[in-house]
Structure 1
Amino acid sequence: MKFRNLKTVAALAALLFGAVSGSAFAQQIELKVGDWQSLQHIQSTAGTQWFMKEVEKRTNGKVKFVHFPAEQAAKARGLLDAAASGVVDIALTGSLYSPDRLPLNSVIGLPGLGNSAVAATKPLNDMVRNGLLRDEFISAGVVPLYAYALTPYQILLREKAVANVSDWDGLKIRTGGSTQALTARSMGATGISLPGPEVYTAVERGTVDGVLFPIPSVAPYNLQEVVKFISTNGSFGNFGCNLVINQATFDALPADVKEVMLEVGTEAALNVAKAQDDLSAGLLKEWAAQGITLIEFTPEQLKAYEDTLAPVSDEWVERIGKNNPNAKAVYEAFLKGVAAQ
């Protein structure tokens, strides 16, 4: 059997001893995986690497992965195209990195969608795998294996702390895409879209004043070295990550391998989400001991943020809905999924 982008390895021992039976050939499926995270990142250890190890184990070694972390195969923004074109078989992609290809999936960037990674991951994975968000991936030439959300984004600041909404006025804030840019703009700041690997230099040089970032992703990029203030209880949007596989490659896989991949995918989504939630509290305590000032918004301040950010979702529905009639249904389905947790 031939696989597109797969390597079939014959059992050499059987060949050497002249075995003629068809069962004498053991096929091993090798899949190339492109990733933008480092091997030490929690999303890699508890997500991509965990997925690969479990699939290899549950297929008894029938499937083997060749992993290209830290943008070795393609830049973060190019990994969706890399998987779709067959440069790699599987890729970790970011929904907000492809707003033109995945406009409905940018819903995850809206503020207020869950107070933990697990709370947002459950509805996100359901909608990407089998719901209203799946078709965009299929149209892009890939099949989603699983999706997960990060912890709610907090604000990290280089020099100036924020407390009230008015404190954001005039700040240049790194955002993960156009949806988060709406959040920054609604508070008087300017959103500057940058992928994770470029953020450290931008903060260090003062290109941006602050960063919207999830707590578990701060240390892998060493951002705690270049910021002085970090909020602890805001909800300034989120980010969706998706492990996707080339459509033709997936179609060529044996049925039992497909089943294992999808089964492990569901588990991997929740595994990496829970790992992020568990990590956050310890990191904040550690950084406070190192001299970083933690910003905990009061109930009154949180209410003011909620009121200020309310129009962001309406604007997203209107903007995305111009070309995607399912925008409102997607947003409402996500809210319902979060509320059900």
Structure 2
Amino acid sequence: MKTLKKITAVSAIIALGMTATAGIAETLRLGDFQSTSHIVSIEGTTRWMAAVEEATGGAVSFQHFPSQQAAKSKAQLDAVNNGILDAALLGTLYHAESLPLNSVVGLPGFYSSAQQGTKALQAMLKEGPLREELLAAGVTPIFGFVLPPYQVLAKKRLGLAEDWKALDIRTSGSTQAMTARSMGAVGISIPGPEVYTAVERGRLDAVLFPLASVPGYKLNEVVSHISTNGSFGGYSFVMVVRSDLFKDLPEDVQAKMLELGAETAMHVAKAQDDSVEGLVTQWKDEGIDTYTFSDAELASLTDSMKLVGQDWLERINADGAEAVLENYRALTSK
């Protein structure tokens, strides 16, 4: 049985200028792997759900399954397609096999802030190969945003590329694993909720992670050195609804979900960027070495990572990949 009946009408006078039709309220089962205390949930997912419910007068509501309650991080897309969920906040790099073109965001050196990267991602989800890839996977993208550029967290200071050799480093998916390998390290893909234990037990030597997300996983408790000006790739989240369900929604409801999604994307991006400065100050007070790479170190790292983009093209071997990479480069350079 489908978890969402076909919506034929909306039951309330829709707020914010939407039209009114008669019917019954429906609930979408929405899953994600972040906890409700994570900034992505507070300023993104839960904020958007509340805004949609208010704007539709409760005609569309949500049953939220955070913290992998309905499906593991790598199974969110399957859960939507199989009817376990109706919608999900996908971590696209966890679905690189199904969404190879969307993994372009994992490449290093492209954006310097979440707001810059989110503007580029939103443009690419509005039209083009990234959108078409998601539609082909059976889901419709509502909005997308990125995390701030990944930094390195470790128990020792990592600077020049040679410092990384033979280290086991946590990466988010295969694209970011290529970044680690470019510096002689071993990239190990571990979901965010499992990273704390892996570092604590010595399974990992270092972690590539966005600073705004560190508090959500308490990684500052298990590392002693955190970089602040690196750019070791990005990570994109995309809110999706199963396409057959989204098409059954009234057009004004679809439009409002998309409009509120665009607002939420930029809001959560700015919230993340704004949080970083305060976090760095807090960590310094805790005795953590928060450091900036020197010009020589940045040059060494950049030189090592310069071929990752070409490696990405060869690895995914997908039609349109080169055009996606060039468009991403152009959009993030604005």
Query: Which SS does the other structure have where 2:115 is aligned?
Result: helix
Shift of 1:135: 1.4
CA change 1:304–1:150 in 2 (3 A) is: same
CA change 1:246–1:148 in 2 (3 A) is: same
Query: Which SS does the other structure have where 2:152 is aligned?
Result: strand
Say how many residue pairs are matched.
Answer: 325
Residue in structure 1 matching 2:117, options 117, 120, 129: 120
Identical counterparts, % of pairs:
48
Aligned to 1:212: 208
CA change 1:307–1:246 in 2 (3 A) is: same
* Residue 172 of structure 2 corresponds to residue 176 of structure 1: yes
Residue in structure 1 matching 2:161, options 161, 165, 182: 165
Does the 8 A contact of 1:4 with 1:248 survive in 2? no
Q: RMSD of the alignment, in Å?
A: 2.0
Moved more, 126-135 or 329-338: 126-135
Unaligned runs of 5+ in 2: 11-19
CA offsets per residue over residues 130-160 of structure 1, 9 Å max, x none?
2220111111111011111100000000x22
Q: How far apart, in 1, do the equivalents of 2:42 and 2:85 lie?
A: 20
Moved segments of 4+, more than 4 Å: 7-11
Q: How far apart, in 1, do the equivalents of 2:41 and 2:21 lie?
A: 36
Aligned pairs for 1:135-214 within 5 A: 135-157=132-154, 159-214=155-210
CA offsets per residue over residues 140-187 of structure 1, 9 Å max, x none?
111011111100000000x22111111001110000011101100010
Aligned to 2:13: none
CA change 1:88–1:307 in 2 (3 A) is: same
Aligned to 1:336: 330
Residue in structure 2 matching 1:232, options 228, 234, 258: 228
Q: How far apart, in 2, do the equivalents of 1:193 and 1:161 lie?
A: 21
Does the 8 A contact of 1:7 with 1:30 survive in 2? no
Aligned to 1:52: 49
Aligned pairs for 1:288-299 within 5 A: 288-299=284-295
* Residue 36 of structure 2 corresponds to residue 39 of structure 1: yes
* Residue 84 of structure 2 corresponds to residue 90 of structure 1: no
Q: How far apart, in 2, do the equivalents of 1:252 and 1:293 lie?
A: 53
Q: How far apart, in 1, do the equivalents of 2:193 and 2:307 lie?
A: 30
Does the 8 A contact of 2:3 with 2:84 survive in 1? no
Does the 8 A contact of 1:40 with 1:220 survive in 2? yes
Aligned to 2:103: 106
Residue in structure 2 matching 1:68, options 65, 68, 74: 65
Which one has a bigger Cα radius of gyration?
A: 1
Moved more, 301-310 or 33-42: 301-310
Does the 8 A contact of 1:150 with 1:273 survive in 2? yes
Does the 8 A contact of 1:8 with 1:30 survive in 2? no
TM-score (norm. length: structure 1) = 0.91
Whichever residue aligns with residue 85 of structure 1, its letter is: N
Whichever residue aligns with residue 271 of structure 2, its letter is: A
CA offsets per residue over residues 239-263 of structure 1, 9 Å max, x none?
1111100111111111111011111
Q: How far apart, in 2, do the equivalents of 1:246 and 1:288 lie?
A: 44
* Residue 243 of structure 2 corresponds to residue 247 of structure 1: yes
Query: Which SS does the other structure have where 1:243 is aligned?
Result: strand
Does the 8 A contact of 1:200 with 1:223 survive in 2? yes
Q: How far apart, in 2, do the equivalents of 1:30 and 1:98 lie?
A: 26
Unaligned runs of 5+ in 1: 12-22
Aligned to 1:14: none
